[in-house]
Amino acid sequence: MALEDAKHQIDTAITRDDLKGLAFENAFSGATSFLRRRYTKDLTGVDVAVTGIPFDQAVTNRPGTRFGPRAIRAACSLQPFDPPYGWDGYSPLEALAIADYGDMALDYAYPADVPARIEAHIKGILDAGAAAITLGGDHSVTLPILRAHAAKHGPIALIQVDAHTDTWPDDDPSRIDHGTFCYTAVKEGLIDVAHSAHVGIRTVVEDNLGIHIHDAAELHARGAGAVAADLRARVGNRPVYLSFDIDGLDPAFAPGTGTPVWGGLSSAQAAQLLRGLAGITLVGGDVVEVSPPYDHAEMTAVAGAHVAMELLCLWGWTRR
């Protein structure tokens, strides 16, 4: 750590000039942008824009994920000092121009308007030439994000880490539900089903609409590295969107979520899985369902912050 920089850096979310580079201001102070990146709505020259969608009105159980983006930003303040471990020295904060695009504005009293707002919000980032990494919010936010990505890339391969497949049937387009986003995405043709997969599933699935499942038991038995190799083979060189529901982790590692299910991934397994995906053509991703009101010692927010860093690594790895 550059001690001299630590003496002078403060509020780099506001004051930094360069979109690239590590940051050394004290982890316990300053404006908490994502990884101390600059807050900006100007995406000129930006490779990746990180944005928050503070929406949680589509949950089936415990709310609170509207506070997820803020908690993840605060939890990631320990990470910008060094390149992330396990990536052979690759340093996305130094290699990529990354901006914190802030949160999407919404009127909580008009939840039906939110999906279209999300789609337009993400489309604006993509049209500016940047990739979008999103901090949720409940898992319903992924559907309009997928619409924006599919409009640009066509049907995309989806890797979804989750305790649930979110393929419960729902043929009412006016409903907004975090448990049906994947069902609707398949029905709308947003997902390349044959080359998509769910990872970490440990709830009953009546119809998964043809998407392959690597359930939690398989991952525990075979290892995260083996499952990651299967995923790489399944998606090939197709554009991939990775959605990481934090309840994919066991509640021992991520208690702060709305629908916890025992028997999930450990933090170590999640890290091995994500690093094992290096080489996929990631075009976007999200980490969702971090609910700070049910968290303990900020451990769920810390896990979400690390997942988001791994998404940056995956996006940049094939673009070195």
The annotated binding site is made up of 139, 162, 164, 166, 245, 247
Relative orientation angle of helices 68-75 and 299-317, to the nearest 10 degrees: 80
Count, residues in the chain:
320
CA atoms 227, 232, 238, 239: torsion sign: positive
Binding residues for Mn(2+): 139, 162, 164, 166, 245, 247
Neighbours of 70 (CB within 10 A): 17
Distance CA(141)–CA(242), nearest Å, equals 13
Measured CA to CA in angstroms, residue 24 lies from 10, 21, 104 at distances of 9, 10, 28
Of 296, 258, 264, nearest to 58 (Cα)? Answer: 258
Kindly state the tokens that stand for 27.
Answer: 């982890």
